[in-house]
Amino acid sequence: MKSTTKQIIVTNSYEQQILEEKIDNHFLKLVSIESIEQMIERFRRLFLQSSPYETPEISTVLERILQFPECEEKFNYILNRCCYILINHQQQNQEQKNVLEKLIQLFSQATSKSDYSYYGYCQTKKIL
C-alpha cells in the first residue's frame, strides 16, 4: 500500500515539473520574438490580472499547478523564474533596470488592489 502512495507522489512531482517547464518554455519562446513591453503585459495578464490569459493552454497549466498541495511554493518558483527570464533577456544594464522597475511596479499595483484574480483570490492574491 505504501509503495502505491509513493508512486502517486512521484507521478505528481513529475507532472508538476512538466507543467512548470511549459510555462518557462512559453516565456522563453516569446521573449525572443516580442518586445519587452508586450512581455510585461503578458506577465501581468497571466499572473496578476483578473481575466483569462490569451494562450488558453498556459492558463490551464497554471490552474493545474495551483491545485497542487504545495501550490504556493510552485507558484512563487514560476513567478520568480519568469521574472528572471524577462530581466535576463535584456542585454544592457539600463534595459534590465527598466524591466525590473516595471515588474516592481506591477507587484505594487497587484498587492494594493482588492479585486480577485482570475485564478481565485485564495489561490493567487494570498500567494502574492
Phi, psi (rounded to 5 degrees) for 33: -120, -10
The per-residue pLDDT for 120 is 54
DSSP-derived letter for residue 117 is: P
Report the pLDDT value the prediction gives residue 8, as an integer from 0 to 100. 38
Distance CA 83, CA 104 (A): 10
Structure-block grid coordinates of residue 77: 518558483
| Residue 75: count of CB within 10 angstroms of its CB | 22
Q: Give tens-digit pLDDT for 23-47.
A: 999 999 999 899 888 999 999 999 9
Per-residue pLDDT of the chain (128 residues; tens, 9 = 90+): 454 444 434 447 888 899 999 999 999 999 989 988 899 999 999 998 867 789 999 999 999 998 888 888 889 999 999 999 998 887 655 666 788 888 888 888 876 654 445 455 445 445 55
Q: What are the helix (H) ranges across 32-123?
A: 36-43, 56-65, 71-89, 93-112
Domain ranges of the chain: 2-125
